């Protein structure tokens, strides 16, 4: 698939006619603003950027792309960490950040209806006066958008108790890859028929673009209590985490940071964590007062039994916010101690935490690459931060090798190559390590059912895109996409 300058000029004119000249960007310097998402290792300048104001304009953009045979990629706030919103040099980047209206807050139905560009935290701010909030809370919740959260099935610190985005989306209106506007789900808790909504959430823009999302609102808890426990080692902190869950306590969140992550957070936001800690746990409980009081005592005792040398209990919301400030800033904070870093995302069983963290430490020592660990300990969702200096010859390669070895560790221990950041461009090459050829063929048949022309976010999720109409099975010879330089076999 190739797009000539003449084709792009014609497409740009069609887009300007459909959504207005001020909503189409073609100047190369302006286009550079959109060359990557939160994963800056991959950069591609898009051919065009479209900024639709509503669902009909979004559909018009997609229809114009289909008519021109031009690929398109959806983008929200651009905070993704897997290259899922990486543009195509021959395609259109459809940016939904201008679609940012909260259409309805319905506390009686415990629902909200929002456009995809609405910021995650804005939903909670709108619902709080009614006694509700939106539970999924990615670390980037102050800037990430609901549309992007839906595309990646984002999680957050409190997903241990409350689940991921998919558990809080009741319905979407979307523009399909052929430009139709379709509704999946609705206000009811569970629509009949095949779970197409479940397939769409987390599909990373390959099945269409969300233009309206109906989300579940959660009642504000009667009580919230938070403690910070300091340990000498990550082994002790991991043992405390397992003990808490084994005791039948399901905290709203259990977060862990190791010594290097703590160092970075202190440098960035001066969070004041206990000096000399090899690891800290942030444990938060919420719910009815009597339940929280009883379980909080259990958690405190279990932390002490497993080696906590200092425990701080948040006295008020300000101190609680300070506990969380260090954790929420962790990804950006490592920029204070390293010029370059890779944010990894994998999942392991909780019981494997100690073993996997030890092995990560060994990999770090063997390759001479530092790794800071910060993660959702309660559900085993790791976020190792692989630190390196791209200006030093060979460090980038070694950092990527360590990053890949960490994902192999996750698979070996019965886990996954991603917990909440998605596959995108960054992890597509690892999919065959986790899935068989038949698994990947089956997934791509679903994709082809939604997008037979292969125009919606091509080149993402799967290592080699299947041409819809191919017979399932391992391809023999060179794939046409490889021949065109659009894909690579790993």
Report pLDDT for 489: 47
Over residues 2-22, the pLDDT tens digits come to 567 789 999 999 999 999 999
CA gap 460, 447 in Å, rounded: 11
Residue whose structure tokens are 């506990």: 323
SS (HEC) of the chain: CCCCHHHHHHHHHHHHHHHCHHHEECCHHHHHHHCCCCCCCCCCCCCEEECCCCHHHHHHHHHHHHHHCCCEEEECCCCCCCCCCCCCCCCEEEECCCCCCEEEEECCCCEEEECCCCEHHHHHHHHHHHCEECCCCCCCCCCCEHHHHHHHCCCCCCHHHHCCHHHHEEEEEEECCCCCEEEEECCCCCCCCCCHHHHHCCCCCCCCEEEEEEEECEECCCEEEEEEEEECCHHHHHHHHHHHHHCCCCCCEEEEEEHHHHHHHHHHHCCCCCCCCCEEEEEEEEECHHHHHHHHHHHHHHHHHCCCCEEEECCCHHHHHHHHHHHHCHHHHHHHCCCEEEECCEECCHHHHHHHHHHHHHHHHHHCCCEEEEEEHHHCEECEEEEECCCCCCHHHHHHHHHHHHHHHHHHCCCECCCCCCCCCCCHHHHHHHCCHHHHHHHHHHHHHHCCCCCECCCCCCCCCCCCCCCCCCCCCCCHHHHCCCCCCC
Q: Read off the pLDDT of each residue in 318-341 and give the average, rounded to a whole number.
A: 91
Residue 438's pLDDT band (cuts 50, 70, 90): very high
Is the pLDDT confidence value at 1 over 70? no
Q: Read off the pLDDT of each residue in 275-284 and give the average, rounded to a whole number.
A: 96
Q: Read off the pLDDT of each residue in 37-45 and give the average, rounded to a whole number.
A: 92
Report pLDDT for 4: 75
Report pLDDT for 470: 64
Is the pLDDT confidence value at 133 over 90? yes
CA gap 149, 213 in Å, rounded: 11
CA gap 414, 422 in Å, rounded: 18
Is the pLDDT confidence value at 85 over 50? yes
CA gap 207, 451 in Å, rounded: 6
CA gap 80, 39 in Å, rounded: 7
Is the pLDDT confidence value at 258 over 50? yes
Please provide the distance, in angstroms rounded to a whole number, between the alpha carbons at the two ends of the chain. Answer: 21
Q: Which residues are registered as beta bridge partners of 381?
A: 347, 376
Closest CA relative to residue 59, chosen from 10, 94, 85:
94
pTM of full prediction above 0.85 = yes
Report pLDDT for 475: 46
Q: Yes or no: say if 324 and 265 are a contact pair by the CB < 8 Å rule.
A: no
CA gap 92, 11 in Å, rounded: 9
Residue whose structure tokens are 């076999």: 489
Over residues 344-401, the pLDDT tens digits come to 999 999 889 989 999 999 999 999 999 999 999 999 999 999 999 999 999 999 999 9
192 or 303: whose pLDDT is higher?
Answer: 303
Residue 315's pLDDT band (cuts 50, 70, 90): very high
Q: Read off the pLDDT of each residue in 283-302 and give the average, rounded to a whole number.
A: 96
Residue 490's pLDDT band (cuts 50, 70, 90): very low
- 268: number of Cβ within 10 Å: 18
Report pLDDT for 304: 98
Average pLDDT, the chain: 93
Residue 469's pLDDT band (cuts 50, 70, 90): low
Distances (CA, A) of 92 to 32, 148, 222, 421, 448: 13, 17, 47, 23, 20
120 or 487: whose pLDDT is higher?
Answer: 120
Over residues 146-183, the pLDDT tens digits come to 999 999 999 999 999 999 999 999 999 999 999 999 99
Q: Which residues are registered as beta bridge partners of 384?
A: 373
Closest CA relative to residue 250, chosen from 258, 241, 259:
241
Is the pLDDT confidence value at 472 over 80? no
- Angle formed at CA 421 by CA 280 and CA 488, multiple of 5 degrees: 130
Is the pLDDT confidence value at 405 over 90? yes
Give me the percent of the chain exceeding a pLDDT of 70.
Answer: 94
Over residues 43-67, the pLDDT tens digits come to 999 999 999 999 999 999 999 999 9
Q: Yes or no: say if 312 and 233 are a contact pair by the CB < 8 Å rule.
A: no
Is the pLDDT confidence value at 487 over 70? no
Q: Yes or no: say if 393 and 399 are a contact pair by the CB < 8 Å rule.
A: no
Report pLDDT for 280: 97
CA gap 418, 266 in Å, rounded: 27
């Amino acid at each position: 698939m190739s797009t000539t300058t003449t084709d792009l000029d014609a497409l740009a004119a069609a887009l300007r006619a459909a959504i207005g000249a001020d909503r189409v960007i073609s100047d190369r310097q302006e286009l550079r603003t959109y060359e990557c998402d939160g994963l800056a290792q991959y950069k591609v300048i898009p051919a065009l950027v479209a900024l639709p104001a509503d669902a009909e304009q979004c559909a018009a953009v997609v229809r114009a792309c289909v008519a021109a045979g031009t690929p398109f990629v959806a983008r929200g706030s651009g905070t993704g960490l897997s290259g899922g919103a990486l543009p195509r040099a021959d395609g259109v980047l459809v940016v939904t950040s201008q679609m940012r209206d909260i259409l309805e807050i319905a506390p009686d139905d415990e629902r909200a209806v929002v456009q995809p560009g609405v910021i995650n935290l804005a939903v909670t701010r709108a619902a709080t006066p009614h006694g509700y909030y939106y539970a999924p809370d990615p670390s980037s919740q102050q800037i990430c958008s609901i549309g992007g959260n839906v595309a990646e099935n984002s999680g957050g610190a409190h997903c241990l108790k409350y689940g991921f985005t998919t558990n809080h989306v009741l319905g979407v209106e979307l523009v399909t890859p052929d430009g139709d506007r379709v509704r999946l789900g609705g206000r009811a808790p569970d629509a009949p028929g095949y779970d197409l909504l479940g397939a769409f959430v987390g599909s990373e823009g390959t099945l269409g673009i969300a233009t309206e999302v109906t989300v579940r609102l959660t009642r504000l808890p009667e009580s919230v209590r938070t403690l910070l426990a300091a340990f000498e080692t990550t082994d002790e902190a991991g043992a405390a985490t397992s003990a808490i869950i084994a005791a039948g306590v399901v905290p709203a969140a259990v977060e862990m940071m190791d010594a290097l992550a703590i160092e970075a957070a202190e440098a960035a936001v001066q969070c004041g964590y206990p000096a000399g800690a090899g690891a800290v746990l942030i444990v938060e409980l919420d719910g009815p007062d009597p339940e929280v009081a009883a379980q909080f005592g259990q958690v405190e005792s279990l932390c002490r039994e497993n080696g906590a040398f200092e425990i701080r209990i948040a006295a008020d919301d300000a101190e609680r916010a300070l506990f969380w400030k260090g954790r929420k800033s962790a990804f950006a904070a490592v920029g204070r101690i390293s010029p370059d870093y890779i944010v990894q995302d994998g999942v392991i069983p909780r019981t494997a935490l100690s073993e996997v963290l030890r092995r990560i430490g060994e990999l770090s020592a063997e390759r001479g690459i530092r790794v800071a660990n910060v993660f959702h300990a309660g559900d085993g969702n790791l976020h190792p931060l692989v630190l390196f200096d791209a200006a030093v010859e060979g460090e980038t390669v070694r950092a990527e090798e360590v990053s890949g070895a960490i994902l192999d560790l996750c698979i070996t221990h019965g886990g996954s190559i991603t917990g909440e950041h998605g596959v995108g461009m960054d992890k597509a090459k690892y999919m065959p390590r986790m899935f068989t050829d038949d698994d990947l063929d089956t997934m791509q048949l679903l994709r082809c059912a939604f997008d037979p022309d292969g125009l919606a976010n091509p080149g993402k999720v799967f290592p080699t895109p299947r041409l819809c109409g191919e017979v399932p099975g391992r391809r023999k010879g060179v794939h046409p996409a490889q021949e065109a330089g659009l894909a690579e076999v790993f």
